[in-house]
Structure 1
Amino acid sequence: MPSGSALEAVRARRSWSKVTDEAPTHGELLTLVAAAGRVADHSSLQPWRLIELRGSDRERLGRAIAKAQGDKSPSTKPLRAPLLIAVVASYKKSDKVPRWEQETVASGVAHVLSLLLDEAGWGVIWRTGGYTRAKAVAKAHGLDKNEQLLGWLYVGGKPPRERLGRRKAVEARKLVSRMPTSKKD
């Protein structure tokens, strides 16, 4: 198999819950987003957008999460990585492409972007939570009424590790089947 293949990148991918304070630059991020945006997209609607959160943006998000959860102290969760990328489904009017399909495009962009970031040497984890649907959090992100937050990619440097844990293998045979036959066929 050729070095740098998509299969190799997917097999090597893992979530990094702890990262260092380094992060890709805005320019590096744009290059990867341009590639990630090539996911399958029925009618080329581009029903997604990303919001880059760095520095004090993460503190503002912490306050919004606290408000959404009724806490007095700001959440420190957004401070776990130097770069957060909010993944937003930005639904477009379409007679051909239903809302659920548009959301899968936004999810696809986020997943491909996480693979590209990982392959570029960055630690990434996709975080969600009940507060992704909270009004205070949507307001902090400046979401329009036709948009929905799907979570954040937390991005930073990969810390040195002595041993990487192995991910459980996917048993493809249990997850792939043929279409059932019908007695009428």
Structure 2
Amino acid sequence: MTGALEAVRARRSWSKVTDAAPSHPELLTLVSAAGRVADHSSLRPWRLIELRGTDRERLGRAINKATGETGASSKPLRAPLLIAVVASYRKSSKVPRWEQEAVASGVAHVLSLLLDEAGWGVIWRTGDYTRSKAVARAHGLGKDEELLGWLYVGGKPPRARLGRRRGVDARHHVSRMPKDKPAKGSV
């Protein structure tokens, strides 16, 4: 089997990580590769925002503002590196908005696989506040942008329980196109 197949089969979400994180140059290398996802018209309708250190505290305040709470949420402090995934929509007569969002999601997913294979623990987190005005403002999003969530990245803890996810029974998810049925009233 190929390395890509094994990487996908080994992938899991890491809800708890250590304080270690990939360096900025290491992240750039992986983002460069992740950016090769299928992208109709090569619009590159995505961008990523790297949050480290006090950026995470600022996000925590924005989350609490969005949810009507005071202070700062501790959620962004669960990992040393957060990567905000942003769909950055482009004007196009050929590529609809949903397809551009799919490209941004594809970049995030491939990046999570690459980070995992490089030895980093990753989980993609979202929440009701993901598309709130307070959180969008904290990220400096433009009017044609939407936040799709964050990749929380850190070191894989030693002795982590490595329960493998059960594989998907593809037979339940793959079918053939239905045969043509005669129109009502025709012979």
What's the TM-score bracket when you normalise by the shorter of the two chains? over 0.9
Among 7, 12, 21, the residue aligned to 1:23: 21
Q: CA deviation at 1:81?
A: 0.1
**Counterpart residue number, 1:95:** 93
Local SS of the residue matching 2:124: strand
**Counterpart residue number, 1:104:** 102
Contact kept? 2:66, 2:135, Cα under 8 Å:
yes
Q: What is the count of residue pairs matched by the alignment?
A: 183
**Counterpart residue number, 1:81:** 79
- RMSD over aligned Cα atoms: 1.1
Among 142, 165, 168, the residue aligned to 1:167: 165
Q: CA deviation at 1:163?
A: 3.6
CA distance in 2, matches of 1:182, 1:173: 22
- Superposed CA offset, 1:6-60 (max 9, x none): 1000000000000000000000000000000000000000000000000000000
Letter of the 1:111 partner, please give it: H
Q: CA deviation at 1:182?
A: 1.4
Hey, which bits of structure 1, 4+ residues long, moved more than 4 A?
A: none
Larger Rg: 2
Matches within 5 A, 1:91-170: 91-161=89-159, 163-170=161-168
TM-score, scaled relative to structure 2: 0.96
Contact kept? 2:12, 2:164, Cα under 8 Å:
no
Unpaired stretches in structure 1, ≥5 consecutive residues: none
Percent identity over paired residues? 81
CA distance in 1, matches of 2:100, 2:4: 24
Q: CA deviation at 1:73?
A: 2.4
Letter of the 2:172 partner, please give it: K
**Counterpart residue number, 1:11:** 9
Change (3 A) 1:162 1:76: closer
Letter of the 1:129 partner, please give it: G
CA distance in 2, matches of 1:64, 1:134: 9
Letter of the 1:56 partner, please give it: T
2:37 paired with 1:49:
no
